[in-house]
Structure 1
Amino acid sequence: MTDTSAAQPLTLTPAEMAPFIQHTKIEVGSTRDEMIAHAREAVEHGFNAAMVPASWVSLVARELAGTGIEVASALDFPTVGVMTSAGKAAEAEQIAKQGATQLDIGVQVGWLKSGMYDEFRDDIAGVVRASGIPVKVMLELPLLTDAEKEAAVELAMEAGAAYLKNASSGQIETANPESIRYLVDRARGNVKVKASGSIKSYRQALELLRAGAVLLGTSAGLSIITDSADENTTSY
């Protein structure tokens, strides 16, 4: 696997982009056979991870065992900030036990906007402690004021986030270099940045890596690595 902590080269062919893509399949109604095929695609093309719903983690973990491909899942998503902190931590622990090696989580935007900073931070920290795996925090930057953005970044890092994300999906923000640079400029220590939100084309993906993202979350990975993206493709 490519070391995604290293500085990104300015030029990558579409195929060379695969190790930076978290191959995502979260559609409602996806079947067992479809999930197995998704995991096998991740191996075949050398994607960084297969990102799947929690209910399919154990199956996908078995398929990916020994391949070096990460098993990623999401929590408190796609509607973010609706779980209790205790429930979120308990679910995070269970997902990790089932074989997830990375976890993307929604945040309590309403708590942040209410000035409940301790609760916002502790909600994230509970997941970090319970799961014991790298946690990527979906900050939903477009929903925040400038002051709230600064607070969210700091609190996420205080809580132990391994990655900062601009947004949970394209419904919140189309991933763009400006948001990624904002996070990269504020990340400290070993904290890295993942881009997410309607990443559909090779050109867009390359711009995000050049801005400092080390991971890209998208359901359009196959199109990107073949440079055949359809602008009408739904991408998370």
Structure 2
Amino acid sequence: MSTAILADTVTRAALAPYIQHTLIEVGTTHDRIVAHAEEAARYGFNAAMVPGSWVPEVAQVLRGTDIEVASALDFPSVGVTTSAGKAAEAESLVRAGATQIDIGVQIGWLKSGRYDAFRDDIAGVVRAAGVPIKVMLELPLLTPAERDIAVDLAVEAGAAVLKNASSGAVEVANPESIAYLVARAPQGVTVKASGSIKSFDQAVGLLRAGAVLLGTSAGVAIVTDATDDQTTSY
């Protein structure tokens, strides 16, 4: 996985390997999904992030490339899936071709003091999937003490990557949240920034704060200097 950008000068093309090219729009068609996967390969993005129902098609398009096939579960309504259901879906996604999975967490359990259950919910997915699991921590919904606990439990559960939030509806990705996660995470656990990442400058700022992945649907615009008012961010 890439390391954080530290160079003083960064080109747009240099950002591509950090971007998880995301398409989660309702009603997305087969042709659009195929085009999305092809874009990921064309621009050299880190991954094509798509709904689980489209993972087999994307895996087929990206076979033979270095582009990851990523998907998310217990999302966009985070924390509503049972632990057993989440683990089973993770296993199913990997069989279908997913090589990375982002998961929602049980924020209500954390706030209720059910720490073992919170940790075991994540650990069950880690065991079932056998691929890197990225944990959406929804930092703005947590107190400072809860943030620390959530990070520590996610790491204990085997999370490979920590995320500040599931989407821009929860938090616009910012250097402060990313720097917090980078400082709290132990060696070997990395950080993904997510939430309304729409510009080149914003992307560079997040990478310089320590993120090694950026989840965004505006990846093409970011690396080509194009503009698209219709983009939504993950």
From 146, 149, 152, give the equivalent of 2:150: 152
Letter of the 1:49 partner, please give it.
Answer: A
RMSD (Å) for aligned C-alpha atoms: 1.1
Shift of 1:12: 1.6
CA–CA distance in 2 between the matches of 1:102 and 1:219? 17
Alpha carbons 2:4, 2:211 under 8 Å: kept: no
CA–CA distance in 1 between the matches of 2:143 and 2:6? 32
CA–CA distance in 2 between the matches of 1:7 and 1:13? 14
CA–CA distance in 2 between the matches of 1:229 and 1:109? 35
Deviations 1:95-116 (A, max 9, x none): 0110000000000000000000
From 11, 17, 20, give the equivalent of 2:18: 20
Residue 44 (structure 2) pairs with residue 40 (structure 1): no
Q: TM-score, normalised by structure 1?
A: 0.96
CA–CA distance in 1 between the matches of 2:143 and 2:196? 22
Aligned to 2:181: 183
Shift of 1:226: 1.4
CA–CA distance in 1 between the matches of 2:89 and 2:231? 31
Q: Indicate the SS of the match to 2:78.
A: coil
Alpha carbons 2:5, 2:204 under 8 Å: kept: no
Shift of 1:154: 0.1
Unaligned runs of 5+ in 2: none
Shift of 1:231: 6.3
Residue 24 (structure 2) pairs with residue 8 (structure 1): no
Q: Indicate the SS of the match to 1:33.
A: helix
Alignment of 1:134-153 (within 5 A): 134-153=132-151
Q: Indicate the SS of the match to 1:91.
A: helix
Aligned to 2:88: 90
Letter of the 1:225 partner, please give it.
Answer: V
Aligned to 1:109: 107
Shift of 1:234: 2.1
From 48, 51, 55, give the equivalent of 1:50: 48
Aligned to 2:59: 61
Unaligned runs of 5+ in 1: none
Greater alpha carbon shift after TM alignment, 173-182 vs 7-16: 7-16
Which aligned segments of 4 or more residues in structure 1 are displaced greater than 6 angstroms? none
Question: How many corresponding residue pairs?
Answer: 233
CA–CA distance in 2 between the matches of 1:217 and 1:7? 15
Question: Alignment identity in percent?
Answer: 70
Q: Indicate the SS of the match to 2:77.
A: coil
Aligned to 1:71: 69
Shift of 1:49: 0.2
Q: Indicate the SS of the match to 2:105.
A: coil
Q: Indicate the SS of the match to 1:56.
A: helix
Shift of 1:8: 1.9
Alpha carbons 1:166, 1:183 under 8 Å: kept: yes
Shift of 1:235: 1.5
Shift of 1:229: 4.0
Shift of 1:230: 4.8
Q: Indicate the SS of the match to 1:137.
A: strand
Deviations 1:159-202 (A, max 9, x none): 00000000000000000000000000011121000000000000
CA–CA distance in 1 between the matches of 2:28 and 2:58? 13
Q: Indicate the SS of the match to 1:115.
A: coil
Aligned to 2:202: 204
